[in-house]
Amino acid sequence: MDAKTYNAQLAELRALRDDIKKTQATLAKLETDRARQITALAGYEKAKAERIAPAAGLSLADIVAIAPILAPDQLTNPAPAAPTGAAVAPPEPARQTAPPSGPEPAQEQAPSQAGTIAPAMTRPAPEAAAEPEPPAAPSASPSASSSAPAPLTAAPLAAHGAQRTLPGIPEGPEGDRWFAHTANLASTHPNFTQQARSTVFLDTATGVLVHRDHTFRLDLPTASAAEILNTVFHVLPDGVERIYITAGAPWHRQADQHPFLKDAVGAWLNAPTPGWRTDTGRGKDRMAGHFVHPRNPVGRYQREQGEQHVEIRSAGEWFDTEGTEPAVIRDAFVLLWKALRRHWPDAVLMGSPSQTGRDLWTRTIPTKGQYADGYPVLSEELRGLFHATAGQGRTELITPPHVPEQLPALVEYDRTFAYAKHTWKAGIGAPRRVTAARFAAWSEKEQAKALFACGHWHVRVTVPQNWDHVGTLPAPAPGDRAWHYPATPGTTFTTWAGGPEIHTALSNPRSPWKVEILDGILFDDGKPLDDWSKKLKEAWSSLTAQADLNGDPTQRTAAHLAARAVRAILLYGIGAFAQRPRTVTGTTPRTAERDVPTDAEIIGFDDQTITWQRPTGFTRDPNAHPEWAAHIWSSARAALLSQRHRDDNTYAGALHAPPGSVVAFRTDAVYLTQPQNWPYHGQPGDYLNKGHLTGPLTAPTTEDELLTLRDKGRTTPQTTSNNEGS
């Protein structure tokens, strides 16, 4: 073989690689759709793997791997023995989550790791909750009368090992080493003033550009990054530093040419931009390179000749911009800036809510007192453990037979500005390890105090035998960072959970769960986020009042959007504390493809450019505090189940609704089959009745079906008085 033939065959090999990449992407999408359908079919009471397998073109083993609930009896672990004198109930049909995240975990064999059983906790119940309510009654229609929710009475037949295994802390000195802070890394008060950036707002669908008090109309036939940059700088020759896209989503214009939306975005960001190149950062600004996100990407560019830096971003990072003119969106940002300036004289709006949130938080770090030197950052090992074991919002869809096939209604309760309710305390100081033996040595009072404090616990959990409601604690499900909530009586699983959820499992109004402490991370209680959160809540309250009282419709809209932006600052600011491992996206010319990093994954390509990404792990981020984010997320999930309203002497949450009436959870919202008399005063954390759709309604079995009913419920007028319209 000569050099010419060698090079020609290399070119053919590259073409084959490109074709394979495209085919693999299409195949992966089809396989995902097939698995989703199999999981949905498994929810049918009489579903059998023998019938589904030939329809799917898979073996019985493949079907059981996707939906272990369909496994034959002889292939699964036996259900736990019933207590003496008790009847053994039939197996429970499948329980589906949205998005599907796998079945309930199997019963565990006797584990080798010893645990210490946490004490059950009691709480004073309000008078109205003295007797548990009966299960939700279905609609009176004939079709509904035969669709009563099935009781949760037996463990599902699940294939052993189907659930994801979570990491733990090593025994001995190796694990103890994790409990030291990262050397010379702490969150400190900044010693500089953040600089504002000149910003414009552009609707690429209409070509309307707003800069300060001036409006221009641009011609953008292709709306490519190069066209946007060159046209904007032609109209504003002095230049701008940030371009917010308010409508048009130019990065989606060629979505039909790519298998995934993210591929289309990557192609748009990395298309040739004559006169410009990808920004490599400047000064202390480490934000360099493009950020590929399917809906809210960030393009960072720098002039090839000169020092001009500019970023193209989506205003959708801050709030829903649909149907709003660019001028009104600019007014919203002005109102937001003014509201923040009342609390932070040096406040500057940065590119995203998360950047703004963390910058504002650093300006509340004490300059005197105990933490004048800052808040130390956990070891990389503990940060990695929190990343792997602390989920965020609860997303779960509960399907028949656990709810009626015909719902009498679908009522949406959404917690107003929910995370702001849970920032009043967080863990500070050096983390302490609490082994099972150490926990056992404490008195019951000390144990209860520890579980009520800021901690993260490795636990073995057993659902009570008499349990008839939704699950209380997250369990690892198959898939990366997927979680579900076992509720079947007798089910045992091992997981990590925050103190607020553990406390709720032990003190819930129905029946305490059995929780065995295997290991734990415990912090001192502190208030590192309290000042920051209070200022944001005051800004939110002020803007919400403006939105309610302003007589100008456009200013009402602007104030409403600004209030939503404050919510985003807190929400995404908390998420930024979690500090997930970073993934770098880059491009390499096709002519230099051997320069693609060896550990990179190729995610896109065209005739000129190869787009790749590779993980870079955790950076030395001085503001990384995943322990704070984990505690807030755990508190919010616990409040979805039970939340006390002291002023009203009552409780709200899913566990205070009748068994069989909970249809779904979506982060801050719970969906029920009947309205509840829960108090609403417009305060953070209160349950707002946001939608009510009267039945009978076919119970949703997919997330899309739930969202369709939700949207309809939000727009359908109601005559009930329980908080609607608040």
- Please state the rounded mean pLDDT for residues 611-627: 80
pLDDT at 99: 37
- Beta strands 687-698; 406-415: pairing state: antiparallel
**Among 98-112, 210-224, 253-267, 531-545, where is mean pLDDT lowest?**
98-112
Task: Judge whether residue 107 has pLDDT over 60.
Answer: no
pLDDT at 512: 94
pLDDT at 108: 45
Strand segments, DSSP code E, in 502-551 are 514-526
- Please state the rounded mean pLDDT for residues 209-217: 95
Q: Are 555 and 330 in contact (CB under 8 A)?
A: no
Task: Judge whether residue 612 has pLDDT over 60.
Answer: yes
Q: What is the dihedral of CA 318, 321, 324, 330, to 10 degrees?
A: 20
End-to-end CA distance of the chain: 78
Cβ-based neighbours of 329, under 8 Å, separated by 6 or more: 201, 210, 244, 246, 315, 321, 558, 561
The residue among 142 and 723 whose pLDDT is bigger is 723
417: left (phi over 0), alpha (psi -120 to 50) or beta: left
**Among 114-128, 161-175, 213-227, 444-458, where is mean pLDDT lowest?**
114-128
The residue among 631 and 65 whose pLDDT is bigger is 631
pLDDT at 619: 73
* pTM, 2 dp: 0.76
Q: 3-state DSSP call for residue 6?
A: helix
The residue among 6 and 355 whose pLDDT is bigger is 355
- Please state the rounded mean pLDDT for residues 541-546: 95
Q: Are 346 and 194 in contact (CB under 8 A)?
A: yes
- Please state the rounded mean pLDDT for residues 598-609: 72
421, two tokens: 């309710």
Task: Judge whether residue 381 has pLDDT over 80.
Answer: yes
Task: Judge whether residue 418 has pLDDT over 70.
Answer: yes
The residue among 133 and 695 whose pLDDT is bigger is 695
Task: Judge whether residue 101 has pLDDT over 70.
Answer: no
C-alpha gyration radius of the chain: 27
pLDDT, the chain, mean: 83
Q: 3-state DSSP call for residue 315?
A: helix
Residue 291 is classified by DSSP as: B
